[in-house]
A and B are shown apart, each in its own frame.
Chain A
Amino acid sequence: MSNENPSDLKYTTTHEWVRDNGDGSVTIGITEHAQDLLGDVVFVELPEVESSLSAEENCGVIESVKAASDMYAPLEGEVTEVNEELDGEPELINTAPFGEGWIFSMKVKSMTDVEEMMDADAYEAFCQE
């Protein structure tokens, strides 16, 4: 099976992806694998802009027709932007999980934490386990 996960992203064990924006901030969404497990997304409870999050803190909820699923902050930092398009079009998470379905951006405390996360190959291996 080919690896559908973009190689320029980092990944968490809770199926979020993290993009290093190169300016001390990262953008976060959920993976193709995660959206497939969730099914049709109908509502996203986004974190609040300017809120401070610690790593692994519960910071939002993705509701699909099937179930509610908690979202976790992959890193410590402060929320700088949320994807307000998801308010009207939560299904973007299903149709473009790595693109228009991004969820929020945050300024992270330590970029080394990002480097230590799983790369696409490691994440793919993790999903196959």
Chain B
Amino acid sequence: MSEASKDQASQRTPLYDKHLESNGKIVDFAGWEMPINYGSQVKEHNQVREDAGMFDVSHMVVLDFHGKDVKRFLQYLLANDVAKLKDPGKALYSGMLNHDGGVIDDLIVYYLADDFYRMVVNAATRVNDLKWINQQAESFELEIKERDDLAMIAVQGPNARKKAHSILSQEDAFQASKLEPFYGSQINDIFFARTGYTGEDGYEIILPNENVAEFWDQLLASGVQPIGLGARDTLRLEAGMNLYGTDMDETISPLSAGMSWTIAWQPADRDFIGRSALEQQKKEGVKHKLVGLILEEKGVLRGHQKVITEFGEGEITSGSFSPTLGVSIALARVPFEAKDQCHVDIRGKQLSAKIVKPQFVRNGQSVV
């Protein structure tokens, strides 16, 4: 086997055998053998909206930053400002931009101590992210540790926390139950974060590889059902959360990707990577924005379909059928002035769609 093909060989998370035990249908995702579903994507979707489901997200990348320059470095590296994080455990969503203002990745960073931050980045961007981060970090005094020894399970749904607590010791459960939304905390061997990618309450749980299979079995026994990547995608789409590589990438400005709220312009003298490019874009006027679409006729919206508005054309970045709403929904990049109504070209037919804010479902309820 050559070096190149070794690199491309697909990888398995420590939960691979668990997926097979639950009849997971395995597909390639960014070089990982991951379950797309365990039977029915729609059932799994509804399980998360109505009860509790769990996702193996061990393919995602956990990076620990230690050192006295960490805060200063992250203030330079990220478009959002880690100085907003005052309480230990607090999490922040941010884009990591290139010098042209394009999005290299989106990520979550946790402030754990003045000299210790934890970052979780996407699996598909692992190599590129690490290269970029290490390049930028050269003149800073810090250590970056890739935590390949850790696995990650997302437990999501209205009953997710309760069911997760039921498998913990009383004391650990009490500590976890005190976590506010968007906070994380190390409780013995396990890092619990009250975050997610579904629009439901729940945890993202980071724990040692060797313990994860047993933890998964315990969650399963407590009634948390395994959920595949297929439902993960429809859940995040309903929640209006961007998918990297689909809704934005290095050629797309965060200002055109629904990520303006993640850019910390203040303080004005914080010189983060991409700042001057974004300021220039703002001065020239941002031409596109990310919106939500709801199809008003029968059919299914899909990525790359053409959107026609009275202000010009746009494109669907991700679309699917929404199991919660029972209609097709999408995220689309359209001319900045577009509003109210548009048409989508589906196989040569122009079907009408409503333009809405890019968020469809929160906590099991429609918000459109």
Binding site for B on A (CB under 8 A): 39-40, 42-43, 45, 61, 63, 65-68, 87
Within the complex, the shortest CB–CB distance from A47 to chain B, in Å, comes to: 13
Q: Is the CB of B300 within 8 A of A42?
A: yes
Could you tell me the dominant secondary structure of chain B's interface residues?
A: mixed
Within the complex, the shortest CB–CB distance from A44 to chain B, in Å, comes to: 9
User: Assuming the A-B contacts A43-B300, A43-B321, are A65 and B41 also in contact, with contact meaning beta carbons closer than 8 angstroms in the complex?
Assistant: yes
Q: Let me know if B347 is at the binding interface, CB within 8 A.
A: yes
Q: Let me know if B234 is at the binding interface, CB within 8 A.
A: yes
CB-CB nearest 4 A-B residue pairs? A63-B300, A42-B321, A40-B42, A65-B41
Q: Is the CB of A68 within 8 A of B41?
A: no
Instruction: Report the bound CA distance from A124 to B36 in whole Å.
Output: 24
Contacts of B328 in A (CB 8 A): 42-43
Within the complex, the shortest CB–CB distance from B318 to chain A, in Å, comes to: 13
User: Assuming the A-B contacts A39-B37, A39-B40, are A65 and B230 also in contact, with contact meaning beta carbons closer than 8 angstroms in the complex?
Assistant: yes
Within the complex, the shortest CB–CB distance from B239 to chain A, in Å, comes to: 16
Chain A, residue nearest B228 (CB) = A39
Instruction: Report the bound CA distance from A42 to B42 in whole Å.
Output: 10
Chain A, residue nearest B37 (CB) = A39
User: Assuming the A-B contacts A39-B37, A43-B321, A63-B321, are A68 and B42 also in contact, with contact meaning beta carbons closer than 8 angstroms in the complex?
Assistant: no
Q: Let me know if B181 is at the binding interface, CB within 8 A.
A: no
User: Assuming the A-B contacts A39-B37, A39-B230, are A65 and B323 also in contact, with contact meaning beta carbons closer than 8 angstroms in the complex?
Assistant: yes
Instruction: Specify which of A40, A42, A61, A65 lies most central, judged by the most chain B CB atoms within 10 Å of its CB.
Output: A65
Instruction: Report the bound CA distance from A43 to B299 in whole Å.
Output: 6
Contacts of B41 in A (CB 8 A): 39-40, 65-66
Q: Is the CB of A63 within 8 A of B42?
A: no
Instruction: Report the bound CA distance from A87 to B234 in whole Å.
Output: 22
User: Assuming the A-B contacts A39-B40, A39-B41, A40-B40, are A63 and B299 also in contact, with contact meaning beta carbons closer than 8 angstroms in the complex?
Assistant: yes
Within 8 A of A (CB), among B278-313: 298-300, 302
Q: Is the CB of A65 within 8 A of B320?
A: yes
Q: Is the CB of A68 within 8 A of B302?
A: yes
Contacts of B42 in A (CB 8 A): 40, 65
